[in-house]
Structure 1
Amino acid sequence: MGKLENKIAIVTGAGSGIGRGIAEKLAAEGATVVVGDINEAAANETAGALGNDSIGLVADVTSRESVDAMVAAVTEKYGRIDILVNNAGWDKVEPFLQSKVSDWDRVIAINLYGTLHCSQAVLAVMAEQGHGAVINIGSDAGRVGSSGEAVYSAAKGGIIAFTKTAAREMARNKVTVNCVSPGPADTPLFAGISAENPKLREALERAIPLRRLAQPADLANAVAFFASDEAAFITGQTLSVSGGLTMS
């Protein structure tokens, strides 16, 4: 038996990249996964590959109405939500002085507001049922900064701070809230960023003590731990999964 047997999990942005890796790991550990993604085809394709009665649902995390509809559909179908992984994210890399307010709005809407929307909707369910685990995907950019990612760093720093407060408020309901902070990861998002700067990958691999970018599975393993009963007495914590690039 897996350590997440019979758990109901929502993973946002799970149609590709880190989110899909997380969904695959949770399913492998026995969870039924709700694959939330703005791309309906990707959500359904991922869910179909997972088994365990997993389903894909369209979810635009920037829209509270869309998030509420997803959560209502999950509770109606399964009756509870045991795990929420706030993974959906987006970034545009450029110097802050060259960045546009419209891009700030999108970065904050997807990364920070998306986490807030999903958390408030799902934590209400978890508070009523008296158990649950929320795992937010932060970033080491939000812990130590990252050149070219000023607003993304601000949004992810906000997620890290929100994690701590949500953990304090939800503890009485036996709900844990933790944060996994990736360092540079080998994802479609990174591929798009590095396409404009071919030397970026090589430079990062030299800078990371373990000499490689994170793979989705590296992040998924940390998320699965926080989602499991093994982490029942851990809350309000941020775990960097960065190959040693950052250390605290």
Structure 2
Amino acid sequence: MTQPNSQGAPARAALVTGGTSGIGLAIARRLQQDGLRVAVLDLDRPQAREVARGHGFTFVGADLSRREDCRRAVDETVAALGGLDVLVNNAGFQHIDPIAAFPEDTWDAMLHVMLTAPFLLSKYAWGFLTRSGQGRIVNVASIHGHVASPFKSAYISAKHGVIGFTRTAALEAGEQGLTVNAICPGYVRTPLVEGQIADQARTRGLSEQEVEQKVMLEPAAIKRLLDPEDVAALASYVVSPAAWGMTGAVLDLDLGWTAR
């Protein structure tokens, strides 16, 4: 049931991709706490549906490597929530391989999910977002949208592309009252990163704490992993009415990583 806000209008509606774990789940929960009605998109698996149900989210099952699923995801969200005001492009995954050994199909899948899908979802949602009056697109990029690291060629290519897409879309959307911004976090303590820490501890013969401090956080000024809620707090502001004048921004939440 649609809940009205204090002015009697329906609460704003948001779609968060990759919204049943990690950063996406934290953003979805924060937006819900802020009074938005939230749909979360993820691969259609029982665990993802259960997470959505447990938090009172609308669940949209989709494979973002498929163009038709991107269009259907927007249509299902609008049908369920009665409109769309906020799109958070967060879904992604990481694959670590040297270029010479990088599987071509993995490259294709990663760029589809992390670069093509944000474009397509934004395209299909554009009409709803511009009619909203408070339309917001938030692209979750990464510090790797600015800098490179070895063995992450597809990931880094996609994140650099997301920043370019963000800036271009912001210029096209400005006169329609739709803002488009990117958030670039450093390493965040998610299940994916926890797995990477454990793997590197085994292969390098280090403790997990040493991997965090000496490997992942070595370039950072603040030697502490971010929590998903830290990213969600920034996303909360970016989609708020107070951020109406912020567009085309690339917001670094990187522990000082790129200050050098």
| TM-score of the pair, normalised by structure 2 | 0.87
User: How many corresponding residue pairs?
Assistant: 244
Deviation string 1:90-112 (CA, Å, 9 cap, x unpaired) is 11123333322222112211111
Partner of 1:61: 64
Identical-pair percentage: 32
Return the match for 1:196 from 177, 180, 199.
199
Matched residues in 1 for 2:166 and 2:30: separation?
Answer: 22
Whether contact under 8 Å (1:185, 1:216) holds in the other structure is yes
Whether contact under 8 Å (1:178, 1:237) holds in the other structure is yes
**1:123–1:244 distance in 2 versus 1, CA, 3 Å:** same
Whether contact under 8 Å (2:85, 2:136) holds in the other structure is yes
Counting only pairs closer than 5 Å after superposition, residues 121-200 of structure 1 correspond to structure 2 as 121-198=124-201, 199=206, 200=211
Shift of 1:50: 2.9
Q: Secondary structure at the match of 1:196?
A: helix
Whether contact under 8 Å (2:134, 2:241) holds in the other structure is no
Q: What is the identity, as a one-letter code, of the residue corresponding to 1:147?
A: P
Shift of 1:80: 1.2
Partner of 2:23: 18
Matched residues in 2 for 1:139 and 1:21: separation?
Answer: 16
Whether contact under 8 Å (1:178, 1:236) holds in the other structure is yes
Q: What is the identity, as a one-letter code, of the residue corresponding to 1:19?
A: G
| TM-score of the pair, normalised by structure 1 | 0.91
Matched residues in 1 for 2:80 and 2:154: separation?
Answer: 37
RMSD (CA atoms): 2.0
Matched residues in 1 for 2:143 and 2:150: separation?
Answer: 12
Return the match for 1:36 from 24, 37, 41.
41
Q: What is the identity, as a one-letter code, of the residue corresponding to 1:209?
A: A
Matched residues in 2 for 1:144 and 1:48: separation?
Answer: 38
Q: Secondary structure at the match of 1:195?
A: helix
Q: Structure 1 stretches of 5 or more lacking a match?
A: none
Shift of 1:186: 1.1
Q: Secondary structure at the match of 1:236?
A: coil
Return the match for 2:12 from 7, 10, 22.
7
Is 1:213 the counterpart of 2:225? The answer is yes
Shift of 1:89: 0.5
Q: Structure 2 stretches of 5 or more lacking a match?
A: none
Whether contact under 8 Å (1:93, 1:193) holds in the other structure is no
Is 1:48 the counterpart of 2:59? The answer is no
Matched residues in 2 for 1:179 and 1:88: separation?
Answer: 14
Deviation string 1:76-135 (CA, Å, 9 cap, x unpaired) is 222210100000001112333332222211221111112112111111322344440000
Partner of 1:82: 85
Larger Rg: 2
Shift of 1:151: 1.9
- Residues 105-114 or 199-208, more deviating: 199-208
Matched residues in 1 for 2:222 and 2:73: separation?
Answer: 39
Return the match for 1:73 from 49, 73, 76.
76
Whether contact under 8 Å (2:27, 2:232) holds in the other structure is yes
